[in-house]
């Protein structure tokens, strides 16, 4: 008889899956836990690289798939995709009978996974709660998932304190660090030459790694935003390795604009739907600078001591190391010049990543092994943060 605790990981994107990898490896090796894996949304979409194949190539067995992504590039299609995920996941949970659902972050399929678990009386453990990203609807989703969850794994102590102020019991909120740092310290990354060979493209004298997702709460259109950004990048003279935007409202528009831009000069510009975790981290390591608005620029890039030009408000509110330059759309060229300045380069060489020491996955698995599980919660009203 299998008496292991069944931990069901639900993943919907390449980036979130990459952060789950070190945790899932340790769950597989645990004598007390059994890994269940459900792939949804972008993992099953050819237009985003069909990353389900990458999961399988990494040696993980996918227990269930949920095909919920609608291709229309509208907020109503996102709402419908969320509803489809909720409906389909109810059958998945019924078949798998998990003891706890493990979720990460703040995307709409994460909200669907949490809502379904809540209504089916299945406890939830949530990673990367307590953070703020004021430029996207992810902000509200993240806090909603926090209130649905039983266990919380935060990247910093400040985020832990924020969750406690939301009424969560301190005994169930754990500062573990960011699991993305675990990957940097544990994975064997491709060399620059190996990366270039796999891409069929060579880095220039100065190369940027670029990822830009829609600002879903912005008043401007994704098309006008990406056009202004691409124009600024062209003026800098940088070579640019582009990765695709997520399947958020406006993501398709951004990806189409990037593909069209890259056709101007394929030797200088390259677009890749999904690099995969190892190649993405290798690109971060070998590039001279990161440009865009992805959380990996805020969290992981500091471990490589790379300068980051963070555009707009999507990541507004997240704690930063000293390698980040925040800028508006009309400040991109100036921010990039600052990132390459001698003073800023020197600053980056001396930074310490505030998001942890590379042992987050160990701490998460230890809690999953030992914690009592329940869907009952009382609102905690602290007199002071413990």
- Based on the domain organization, do 110 and 225 belong to the same domain? no
168 domain residue, yes or no: yes
Average pLDDT over residues 291-297: 94
Q: Which residues of 187-218 are buried (b: 16+ CB within 10 A; e: fewer)?
A: eebbebeebbeebebebbeebbbbbbbbbbeb
**Residue 160 to residues 22, 105, 165: CA-CA distances in angstroms?**
21, 15, 9
Res 216 pLDDT > 70: no
What is the CATH classification number for the domain harbouring 193? Answer: 3.40.50.2000
Can you give the pLDDT at residue 217? 67
- Based on the domain organization, do 157 and 205 belong to the same domain? no
Side by side, which strands form the sheet with 207-211?
269-272, 239-243, 207-211, 289-292, 308-311, 324-327
Can you give the pLDDT at residue 75? 85
Res 32 pLDDT > 70: yes
DSSP codes of every residue in 291-356: EES-HHHHHTGGGGT--EEEESSTTTTS---TTEEEE-GGGHHHHHHHHTSHHHHHHHHT---TT-
Res 353 pLDDT > 80: yes
- Based on the domain organization, do 296 and 170 belong to the same domain? no
Separation CA 294–CA 108 (nearest Å): 17
Could you tell me which residues are beta bridge partners of residue 240? 208, 269
Into how many domains does the chain fold?
A: 2
Q: What are phi and psi of 139, to 5 degrees?
A: -55, -50
230 domain residue, yes or no: yes
Average pLDDT over residues 376-380: 91
- Based on the domain organization, do 94 and 223 belong to the same domain? no
Indicate the DSSP class of residue 245. P
86 domain residue, yes or no: yes
Separation CA 230–CA 262 (nearest Å): 10
- Based on the domain organization, do 304 and 249 belong to the same domain? yes
333 domain residue, yes or no: yes
With a pLDDT cut of 90, the percent of the chain lying above it is 82
Mean confidence (pLDDT) of the chain: 93
Give 26 or 69, the one with higher predicted confidence. Answer: 26
Confidence of residue 46 (pLDDT cuts 50, 70, 90): confident
48 domain residue, yes or no: yes
- Based on the domain organization, do 160 and 295 belong to the same domain? no
Is residue 364 within 8 Å of 179, Cβ to Cβ? yes
What is the biggest distance separating any 2 CA atoms in the chain, rounded to whole angstroms?
A: 64
Can you give the pLDDT at residue 138? 85
Domain ranges, residue 109: 5-178+356-370
Mean pLDDT is highest, among 48-52, 79-83, 285-289, for: 285-289
- Based on the domain organization, do 142 and 202 belong to the same domain? no
**Residue 213 to residues 87, 207, 291: CA-CA distances in angstroms?**
27, 20, 11
Res 258 pLDDT > 90: yes
383 domain residue, yes or no: no
- Based on the domain organization, do 332 and 362 belong to the same domain? no
pLDDT in tens, 55-101: 999 999 999 999 998 876 788 988 999 999 999 999 999 999 999 99
Res 384 pLDDT > 70: no
Is residue 292 within 8 Å of 311, Cβ to Cβ? yes
Can you give the pLDDT at residue 385? 56
- Based on the domain organization, do 112 and 39 belong to the same domain? yes
Q: Which residues of 235-254 are buried (b: 16+ CB within 10 A; e: fewer)?
A: ebebbbbbbbbbbbbbbbbb
Separation CA 349–CA 306 (nearest Å): 8
Q: What length does the chain have?
A: 386
Can you give the pLDDT at residue 15? 87
Can you give the pLDDT at residue 28? 97
Question: Minimum mean pLDDT among 67-71, 147-151, 228-232: which range?
Answer: 67-71
6 three-class SS: strand
Question: Which ranges of 130-247 does DSSP label H, i.e. alpha helix?
Answer: 138-148, 157-165, 179-186, 192-199, 222-236
- Based on the domain organization, do 340 and 366 belong to the same domain? no
Res 1 pLDDT > 60: no
Residue 180, CB-side half-sphere exposure with 13 Å CA sphere: 28
Is residue 108 within 8 Å of 142, Cβ to Cβ? no
- Based on the domain organization, do 28 and 122 belong to the same domain? yes
Confidence of residue 386 (pLDDT cuts 50, 70, 90): low
379 domain residue, yes or no: no
Question: Minimum mean pLDDT among 163-172, 198-207, 211-220, 265-274: which range?
Answer: 211-220
Res 372 pLDDT > 90: yes
- Based on the domain organization, do 194 and 306 belong to the same domain? yes
Question: Minimum mean pLDDT among 64-68, 105-109, 213-217, 301-305: which range?
Answer: 213-217
Is residue 133 within 8 Å of 314, Cβ to Cβ? yes
381 domain residue, yes or no: no
Separation CA 135–CA 294 (nearest Å): 12
């Amino acid at each position: 008889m299998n008496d292991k605790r069944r931990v069901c990981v639900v993943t919907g994107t390449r980036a979130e899956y990459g952060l789950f990898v070190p945790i899932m490896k340790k769950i597989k090796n645990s004598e007390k836990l059994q890994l269940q894996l459900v792939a949804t949304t972008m993992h099953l979409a050819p237009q985003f690289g069909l990353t389900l194949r990458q999961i399988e190539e990494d040696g993980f067995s996918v227990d269930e798939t949920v095909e919920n992504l609608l291709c229309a590039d509208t907020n109503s299609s996102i709402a419908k995709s969320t509803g489809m995920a909720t409906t389909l996941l109810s059958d998945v949970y019924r078949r798998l009978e998990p003891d706890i659902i493990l979720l990460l972050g703040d995307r709409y399929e994460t909200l669907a996974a949490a809502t379904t678990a809540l209504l089916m009386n299945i406890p939830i453990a949530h990673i990367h709660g307590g953070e703020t990203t004021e430029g996207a609807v992810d902000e509200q989703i993240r806090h909603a998932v926090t209130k649905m969850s039983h266990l919380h794994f935060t990247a910093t102590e400040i985020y832990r304190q924020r969750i406690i102020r939301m009424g969560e019991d301190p005994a169930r909120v754990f500062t573990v660090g960011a699991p993305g740092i675990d990957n940097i310290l544990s994975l064997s990354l491709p060399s620059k030459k190996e990366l270039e060979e796999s891409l069929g493209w060579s880095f220039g004298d100065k190369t940027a790694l670029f990822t830009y997702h829609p600002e879903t709460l912005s008043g401007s259109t994704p098309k006008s935003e990406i056009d202004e950004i691409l124009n600024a990048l062209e003026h800098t003279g940088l070579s640019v390795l582009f990765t695709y935007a997520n399947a958020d409202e406006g993501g398709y528009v951004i990806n189409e604009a990037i593909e069209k831009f890259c056709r101007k000069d394929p030797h200088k510009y390259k677009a890749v739907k999904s690099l995969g975790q190892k190649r993405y981290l290798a690109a971060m390591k070998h590039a001279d600078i990161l440009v865009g608005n992805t959380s990996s620029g805020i969290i992981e890039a500091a471990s490589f001591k790379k300068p980051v030009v963070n555009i707009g408000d999507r990541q507004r509110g997240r704690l930063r190391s000293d390698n980040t330059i925040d800028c508006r759309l009309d400040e991109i060229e100036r921010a990039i010049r600052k990132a390459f300045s001698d003073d800023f380069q020197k600053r980056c060489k001396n930074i310490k990543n505030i998001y942890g020491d590379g042992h987050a996955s160990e701490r998460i698995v230890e809690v999953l092994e030992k914690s009592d599980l329940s869907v009952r919660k009382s609102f905690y009203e602290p007199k002071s943060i413990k």
